[in-house]
Structures are given as structure tokens and as C-alpha cells.
A and B are shown apart, each in its own frame.
Chain A
Amino acid sequence: MNAWRNVWTITKRELAAYFTSPLAYVFIVIFLLLCGFFTFFVGGFFERQEASLVRPFFDWHPWFYLFLVPAVGMRLWAEERRVGTIELLLTMPITAWQAILGKFLASWLFLALALALTFPVVITVNYLGRPDNGVILTAYVGSWLMAGAYLAISCITSALTRSQVVSFIISLVVCLFLILAGFPPVINVLEQVAPKLVDLVAFFSVMTHFEGFQKGVLDSRDILFFLSVIGFSLFTTSVILRTHRAG
């Protein structure tokens, strides 16, 4: 009970920190502009003539997140280390886990808010046709879980360095790998080179696991995949924070 209170205290502080800096507003505006632009112009929402958001809207999410999530997560620990507040935070009567979880949840809730603000797309498609709203909902859930996986990776890279820029670049590269491992062109090449490895490599891709959600399938394996990426990354973050201090 007390533990969750501590987590929530950290989460509240982090969320407030997002909204006192222009970062939050810039992020949300860019995210929404990108979503709108890609859905209606690049994704050909109208040309498709179908009441579905999967291809024109959700297909872009892994790519948006590639740039936007590391930007949200980069400050989580890097800034604490640069300013020195990490020394305050980790000498408070809370465990490192509570701090890690609190920070992660704050950023994840922030991403949920950004995602929720794309609701006009849902209204539009419902106004124009009769889409399967169940599929849209599962795709949203999948998108949010995927964002969480990216974010947890950004937590690691943020804990690795004092510099937000370095954190941003490293997590971008790692997340890019997670996308490309399941990206059709890469899979095709891999099929010719090492056919036995294809399934293994593709298993590690967020694309493979996001696919199911986009079809409206809530597969426990996909959910477990994202949750275990999150769990593993947060655990790694705790190890990194501990080794820093062990000197």
C-alpha cells in the first residue's frame, strides 16, 4: 500500500514536470500533426474507401514512436544525473524500484494521453462508415503497449548517460533494430541468407507482435512479449543505476 503511494508520488511529480516544460506540448502537437498527415495524405485514408484505421493510421505508429518515444524518455534519468537530484531521489525513504516504476508510469501515462488525443480519427472513420470499433480498440491497446516497450528501452539508455542527446540516439538505434527485425524488406533478405533464423529474429520485432493487435486479436503471447520487454528493460535500468553507484 505504502509502496504504491510512493510510486504515485513520483509519477505525479514527473507528470507535472512534463507539463511545466514546453516539451509536452511540442510533443503532443508534433505527434498529432504526424498522425493526421500520414493518415490522410500518405496513408491514403480516403482513397482506400474502407472503414478501417489499421493500414492508414496504426501502420505508422512503430515509426512515429521511433523518434518520439526516445524524446519522451531521454530526460527520465539523464537529467537527474546531470543536475544531481538523483542523489536526493535515491536517498529518500523509497526503493530504487519505486522510483523507476514511478518515472516509467508517468511517461507511459503521458504517451497514453497523446494517443487518446488522436480520437478525432476514430470519430471521422465512424462518421464516414461502420468500422469495427473492437479492432480499433485492440489496436490502440497494442499501440500503447508498443510505446511502453520503446519507453522502457529509453529508460535504460537514459540511465546510461548524463546526456539526453546520447540517450536519445542510442534508444533510437535500439528501437530501430526492434522494428527492422520484423520489417518485410529485411525479412525477405534474411529468408534468402539464413532461413532458419527468420522466425527467431522476427520474434524480437515489435512489428510482428503489433500485427496481431491490428487485426483485432488480443493474443496473450503478444501482450506478454511487450510486458516482458518492459519488465526486462526496467530491471536492466535498476541494475545500471546500482552499478553506477557501486563505482
Chain B
Amino acid sequence: MIKVQNLAKVFGTKRAVDDVSFSVNRGEVLGFLGPNGAGKSTTMRMITGFLPPSGGSVSVGGFDIVEHPIEARRLIGYLPENAPAYTDMTVHGFLNFAAEIRGLRGDARKQAVNRVVEMCFLGSVLHQSVETLSKGYRHRTCFAQSIIHDPDVLVMDEPTDGLDPNQKHEVRQLIRRMGEKKAIIFSTHILEEVDAACSRAIIIDRGKIVANGTPQELRQKSEWAGAVTLRVKGVAASAVTAKLYQVPLVKRVTVVDEKDGRVTVRAFPKSGANGALAQAIGEAAHEWQIEQLQAEEGRLDEVFRSITMPDTAKEAA
């Protein structure tokens, strides 16, 4: 549904987005990750046709956003950053306006408004002015306008920003549910959201795509992927590390903790270990008193750090 090819945006001398290509199909939820200022919002603004690209192209549902902007925009629902809404209108008035400008009239409009009011739990503030709403309600109002025409494509810039944990959960559930039938892109810098809602994620840094894959695949890039944490009792830390270094699959061993006669160490696998490390370590350690033996999954935050800040990631790990 969304096809982005070699997209670029230049502001003055700064390349905010640099040669970005990806596509999103119906039924996919794409998480857009990246540090602040990486070019996430700029990319989304180009996809929705708010900013004209400096290079490359975007097509939505087969319509080029520059050549056929109206047809393309008709397919898109957009939640901009900070969820702007007309402060001088009531929630009801605002949603009616959004429906009308999307070409919904009469009964169709009433139904659309009722549907999103219910979906976004706006019933209690329907006749309140947007100006007086709390941040969460204002956010949901803007979210409601983005789905009022039941679009095939949803573009959301930090949809959970400023919501309380319950609301965040609701929104993620909603995105996930809607993602079964639509093509969705949303940006976030909360990594757990990627697991909670995305079928695929892209990490963007300084305008370029630096990683693209399912959350599972991204996790595999982590040094932690396939690492094993071992806690044994009654053995010296030096003896444990020495022994583990003899296991062929082990690349590196760190001592996590040593107290009360218990040692916790973590072994990182060489590439290509494919999860076999836990068994190998289990065998190596069979003569000790094992209290814990745990295979780690990759950690997204660590992948994120190591990709976007290569210099400091090592220390953090």
C-alpha cells in the first residue's frame, strides 16, 4: 500500500532524510524507530504529502503523492506529532468537520462520528471544547479524526506520546487490531511498543535506514541474542570464567555478580551459535551446583543503542 523509494529531504544544507526506501503492505504494522531528530517526522510528513520530497518518490495505494495528491491522501489517515486539533471547536464539531472534509455526508457522517467516538472513548467529552481537554483526550480526539474515514493507510507520529499507561495499552491494542486490515506506519521511541504492536520495524538514524526487519530479527542483531546467564554456588568466579572460555562457542564471558558464595556470569556466543550455547554451557557446568541457567533473548534497546550510538553501546553492555 505504501511504497517509499529513495526518499530524500534537504533543509538548507542539512539532509534530514537521505535515500530512504521501504514498503508497507496491507496487514502490516511498521514501527518507525530512531533517536530524536533522526528524520522520522520528516519522512512521515512526506508520506502524507505535507512536505514535498527533495528527491525520490512516495506512492500510496498506487497513487504518487506528488502527482495525484488528492487520490493518495484520500486513502491516508494521519495523526501528526503532538496531535494538533482546532482548539476553538468542540470534539463533536471537530469530528464532524473531519468527516465532512473526507466527503462523508448525512447518515454516513453520523455513523462515522459515532463509531470513532465509541472506539476512542470520547463520549464523555463530546460537547466540550478541544481547548479545555486534557492531553490524553486531545490526543484521542486527533486520533479519532485520523480513523474517521476508515482509511486503508494509517500514518501516526508518536501515537502514544503523552498518554497514561492504560491509554498507551489501549492505543497499542487498537493499532494491532486495525493492523490486520490496514497498512500502518507509526513512529515511537518506546521500544516495548515495537514488540506490542509491530509486525516489522525500521530503525532510522541521521536520515538513513540503519536496520529493517521483524522485531525478532532485530533482536538477533543484539550481542545479547543467544547469550546465557549462569548462576552457580560454591565455585570461584575465576574458575567459572576459565572453564567457560574453553567452550568452543563462547566468545566472551563477563562476571555479573559475585556474593554469598554465588557467582553469576554471562557468556556471549560467537556468531553462528544459533541458540546452542545454553546446552553447551549446561554440559560444561554440570559438575557445579547450578542455581540458574537462562538463555537470553536479544534486547531491542541494546540493538537500538549499538546502531544509533556505536561508540557508547559497548560500555552500556
Contacts and interface: CB of A to CB of B under 8 A. Distances in A.
Interface of A: 2, 6, 9-10, 13, 16-17, 20-21, 83-85, 87-88, 90-95, 242, 245-247
Contacts of A9: 97, 100-101
A85 B98 CA distance: 12
B88 interface: yes
Interface stretch (B27-35, B47-55, B222-230): B47-55
Contacts of B145: 88
Contact of A87 (B54, B84, B88): B84
A247 B50 contact: no
Contact of A16 (B70, B73, B82, B89): B89
Nearest to A83: B84
B294 to A, nearest CB: 47
Q: What does DSSP make chain A's interface, helix, strand, loop or mixed? A: helix
Nearest to A85: B84
Contact of B86 (A13, A95, A247): A13
A242 B49 CA distance: 12
Interface string B105-145: 00000000000000000000000010000000000001001
B52 A92 contact: no
Interface in B1-15: 9-12
Contacts of A83: 84-87
B102 interface: yes
Nearest to B74: A93
B59 to A, nearest CB: 16
Contacts of A90: 49-50
A60 B85 CA distance: 39
B70 A88 contact: no
Contact of A245 (B52, B74, B100): B52
B91 interface: no
A91 B49 contact: yes
Given A17-B88, A93-B102, A93-B103, A88 B80 contact: yes
A10 to B, nearest CB: 7
Contacts of A95: 69-70
A94 B72 CA distance: 11
Interface in B35-67: 45, 48-52, 54
Given A88-B145, A245-B50, A246-B52, A94 B101 contact: yes
B76 A91 contact: yes
B101 A92 contact: yes
Interface of B: 9-12, 45, 48-52, 54, 69-71, 73-74, 76, 78, 80-82, 84-89, 93, 97-98, 100-103, 129, 142, 145
A247 B84 contact: no
Contacts, number: 76
Nearest to B47: A91
A21 B88 contact: yes
Contact of A92 (B9, B11, B73): B73
Nearest to A90: B50
A247 B70 contact: no
Contact of B73 (A10, A91, A245, A247): A91
A20 B88 CA distance: 7
21 contacts: A9-B101, A13-B97, A17-B88, A17-B89, A83-B86, A83-B87, A84-B80, A84-B81, A88-B142, A91-B48, A91-B49, A91-B73, A92-B102, A93-B71, A93-B74, A93-B101, A94-B101, A245-B51, A247-B10, A247-B11, A247-B51
Nearest to A92: B101
Nearest to A247: B11
B86 A85 contact: yes
Contacts of B82: 84
A83 B142 CA distance: 13
B101 A91 contact: no
B80 A87 contact: yes
Nearest to B73: A93
Contacts of B85: 83, 85, 88
Given A17-B86, A91-B80, A245-B50, 6 more contacts: A9-B101, A10-B101, A20-B129, A83-B87, A90-B50, A91-B50
A84 B129 CA distance: 17
Given A10-B101, A93-B74, A95-B70, A87 B86 contact: no
Contacts of A20: 88-89, 129
B52 A91 contact: no
B70 A94 contact: yes
Contacts of A6: 101
A100 B51 CA distance: 17
A220 to B, nearest CB: 35
Contacts of A17: 86, 88-89
A175 to B, nearest CB: 26
A241 to B, nearest CB: 11
Given A9-B100, A93-B73, A245-B52, A87 B45 contact: yes
B157 to A, nearest CB: 9
A46 B85 CA distance: 51
Nearest to B70: A93
